[in-house]
Structures are given as structure tokens and as C-alpha cells.
Amino acid sequence: MKLVIATKEEIAKDIASRVISLVKGNPQAILGLATGSSPLETYAEIIKRKNEVSFKKVTSFNLDEYLDNGDITQSYRYFMDTNLFDHIDIKKENTHFPSKENLATYDDEILAAGGIDFQILGIGSDGHIAFNEPNTPFDSKTHVAELDERTIKDNSRFFKSIDDVPTKAITMGLSTIMQAKEIVLIATGKNKAEAVKKMFEKVDISCPASILNKHPNVTIYVDKDAAPVF
Ligand code: F6R
């Protein structure tokens, strides 16, 4: 895995440039997208540079979506619409999320589209990627996941109260993510440092992100606060 230590702004600019040049070279590129705080600046940077490229033929697959979520404005679909899709010329019908309905077919849909060319990931403070919590099997496909207590607590910052945070989500599995041709992971802030260190130390299901060590094309972007100290 390649490690890049940079500021949040530099990380966003670098990843946005990679996405834009990918789409310029392949207007039908397939993007794998994450929600949460980590990719926000990257999406803002893509929006800033939207005149450089067209996303009309791009297809996207999001990593995950809450299950049994009463508040639509807390859905990951809403997050992506408001933070990216509504501001670029991507066609909404080409943007996909895992759901109860497509649970069994999501991985096949990704394959049928040609596979993910470029996957953006964040990392949980417990080492999760998408909602693959510690001890999720490395060969997992898209599935329903119970969120760990730590994840529910971390995500409660987006909700009025911790009781409003959904406890289940549908998530791409670890083997789904590993099929992406190119992967970038963004980790910023002190609360990610422990997970980032663990990810580099040992490939083990107690840290789901550590599976990325087995992928041939991964860049881990960290800021100074999240940088691992060995
Ligand atoms: C979101 C996702 C999660 C987040 C992770 C970090 O689609 O897949 O794995 O990337 O929980 O969240 P933030 O970026 O909010 O710290």
C-alpha cells in the first residue's frame, strides 16, 4: 500500500484530480463512492472543477446505506445527492446504492457494469471499511451488517440523539471492495490514528481495512494527525 501524508486540502485536490483524469480518459468510468466526513472535501473539489469533465456516462456504486432509517435526510442517497450528484452532470439513474431489494444482486450489478475502476474509502475508528465491522469475513459480499457500538457512537454526531442512529446497514462486502481496480482510502484526525496503524501492522479480520494490504493498487491518504507512528 502506498502511504501519502498530506493536508486535508492536498488530499482532496489529489484525489479529485485522479477522478477527473480517470473520467476524461474513460467517460464511462465506474466509480465506487463513500459517504461520511472523509470524502467531503474531495467531492467539493470535484464540484469546483466540474467544467473540466462530464460525468454523463459515469456509473457509480455507493458502499453502503442505512437500513430501517426513518429519516430520509439521514440516508446516504440524500448525502450523495446534496454533496455531489446534484452539483455535477451525473445521471441519477446511473447512481446505485445497496438496498433490501438489490442485496442479492448488487455484486453482480457491479460486475455487469464492468467492475469498479476507482473506489474511494474512509475508515472507521474501529478499522471498518464500508460497514464491514471487525471480524467480518474477508470473503464477504454485499450483506446486512449490524453496526458496532463504537460506530453508532461515532455516527451519532450526525444525528439529534444516539437513539436515532440506525443500528443496521447494507454494505458492500470486503471481497466486493477488493475487486475494485484502484482504491484510495482517506483518514484524517487523531481518532483514526490507531486504526491506520493497525491496518499497516498485520492482515487480520480484527481490522477489516488491513485486507487492503493484499490489493495491488491502494493509496492510503492521511493527514499528520492520523499518520501511523511505528
Ligand atoms: C461510509 C462508509 C464508512 C465511513 C467511515 C468513516 O460510506 O463506508 O465506512 O467511511 O465510517 O466515516 P467518516 O468519514 O465520517 O469518519
Question: 182-207: per-residue pLDDT in tens?
Answer: 999 999 999 999 999 999 999 999 99
Regarding the beta carbon of 63 and ligand 1, being less than 6 Å apart is answered yes
∠ CA 190-196-201, nearest 5°, is 140
How confident is the model at residue 71, as a pLDDT? 86
Regarding the beta carbon of 12 and ligand 1, being less than 6 Å apart is answered no
**Beta-strand (E) ranges in 81-216?**
95-96, 118-121, 143-146, 168-171, 183-187
pLDDT mean over 156-170: 94
Specify the residue with its C-alpha closest to ligand 1, atom 2: 130
Task: Report the sign of the C-alpha dihedral through residues 37, 38, 41, 47, in that order.
Answer: negative
* 3-state secondary structure (DSSP) of residue 201: helix
The string over 11-49, giving b where at least 16 C-beta atoms fall within 10 Å of a residue's C-beta and e elsewhere, is bbbbbbebbbebbeeeeebbbbbbbbebbbbbbebbeee
Residue 165: C-alpha distances to residues 74, 83, 150 (Å):
9, 20, 12
Q: How far is the CA of 123 from the centre of ligand 1 (A)?
A: 6
Q: How far is the CA of 41 from the centre of ligand 1 (A)?
A: 14
Regarding the beta carbon of 124 and ligand 1, being less than 6 Å apart is answered yes
How confident is the model at residue 80, as a pLDDT? 98
pLDDT band at 69 (very low <50, low <70, confident <90, very high): confident
Does pLDDT of 230 surpass 90? no
Q: How far is it, in rounded angstroms, from Cα 212 to Cα 40?
A: 22
Q: Which helix (H) or strand (E) holds 48?
A: helix 40-48
Strand order across the 168-171 sheet: 64-66, 168-171, 143-146
How confident is the model at residue 111, as a pLDDT? 98
How confident is the model at residue 137, as a pLDDT? 98
Nearest atom, ligand 1, residue 33 CA: 7
Q: Give the global pTM.
A: 0.97
Does pLDDT of 70 surpass 90? no
How confident is the model at residue 51, as a pLDDT? 97
Regarding the beta carbon of 208 and ligand 1, being less than 6 Å apart is answered no
How confident is the model at residue 38, as a pLDDT? 98
Q: How far is it, in rounded angstroms, from Cα 128 to Cα 148?
A: 10
pLDDT tens track for 79-136: 999 999 999 999 999 999 999 999 999 999 999 999 999 999 999 999 999 999 999 9
Q: What's the N-to-C CA distance of the chain in angstroms?
A: 16
- C-alpha cell recorded at residue 221: 491518504
How confident is the model at residue 68, as a pLDDT? 86
Specify the residue with its C-alpha closest to ligand 1, atom 8: 130
pLDDT mean over 5-26: 98
Regarding the beta carbon of 122 and ligand 1, being less than 6 Å apart is answered yes
